[in-house]
Amino acid sequence: MAAIANHPEDVAELTLRVKELEEQQLAFRNSLVCAFNQLLDLKDISTGVHSTRLAEWAIRVARKMNIAEGNFYQVEVAALLHDIGKVGVPDAILKKQGPLTSDERTLINRHPEYSWSILRLFPGLQEASLYALHHHESVDGTGYPAGLKGHEIPLVSRIISVIDAYDAMVSHRCYRKGLPHSEAIARLIASKGTQFDPDVVQAFVPIAEQETADVFAAAGTSASAIL
């Protein structure tokens, strides 16, 4: 250390090298995140697009709920890859048009644990992995996989739970048509305090309303004509 201290140019070079390595690690991690999102698209294109929307909405809700901006990256990754564990669920179950059997339901309910087991292996994404793990918990304790209640559930997980449910309700799937926006919002509101965090629902509803208005405006259609 004394030798290095006597040569400031060596310290500067070492500092620059460390910075370059940190930037390379971050770029590699971001590339992996993008690759896993592409994997979701290959598994089910609707799931991949769904996750991209959720990443955008999650940041907007996180900002409204005063989550520190320094945690936005973890929020974004958790929202983007919360369903990555579905790669471990057979397509025959994911795309089944009839009711699931109890065994099939048990298997698909494991996907948050699969997501956690994948994301926790990414250096620096331990928080995001926990957010993904708990995105199907309910504030009344009836969710899975841990049956957490209220504020035992990470706030980011509670955010993902609300926006995930809304987007799933309004999106078309191979086995059903999506619900109208107004009905999806009504279901979110009806489930405040049981499945969903009331504060998160309150923060998200104006975002969903604006999103819907923007979509209809782009399509040249009035919201009232479709809702």
Confidence band, pLDDT 50/70/90 cuts, at residue 98: confident
**Over residues 35-52, mean pLDDT:** 67
**Over residues 120-143, mean pLDDT:** 95
Half-sphere exposure of 149 (CA within 13 A, CB side): 2
Dihedral over Cα of 106, 113, 36, 164: its sign: positive
Confidence band, pLDDT 50/70/90 cuts, at residue 112: very high
Confidence band, pLDDT 50/70/90 cuts, at residue 174: low
Length of the chain: 227
Residue closest to 132 by CA, chosen among 76, 171, 94:
76
Q: Is the pLDDT of residue 47 over 60?
A: no
Share of the chain above pLDDT 70, in %: 75
**Over residues 141-147, mean pLDDT:** 97
Alpha helices in the chain, H assignment, sequence order:
2-5, 8-43, 45-64, 72-81, 91-94, 102-108, 111-119, 126-133, 155-170, 181-190, 198-219, 223-226
Q: Do 51 and 81 touch, CB atoms closer than 8 A?
A: yes
Confidence band, pLDDT 50/70/90 cuts, at residue 189: very high
Q: Do 86 and 111 touch, CB atoms closer than 8 A?
A: yes
**Over residues 103-114, mean pLDDT:** 96
Confidence band, pLDDT 50/70/90 cuts, at residue 122: confident
Phi then psi dihedrals of residue 96, to 5 deg: -65, 130
pLDDT of residue 204: 97
- C-alpha distances in angstroms, 4 versus 1, 22, 54? 5, 21, 48
Which residues touch 32 (CB under 8 Å, ≥6 apart)? 122
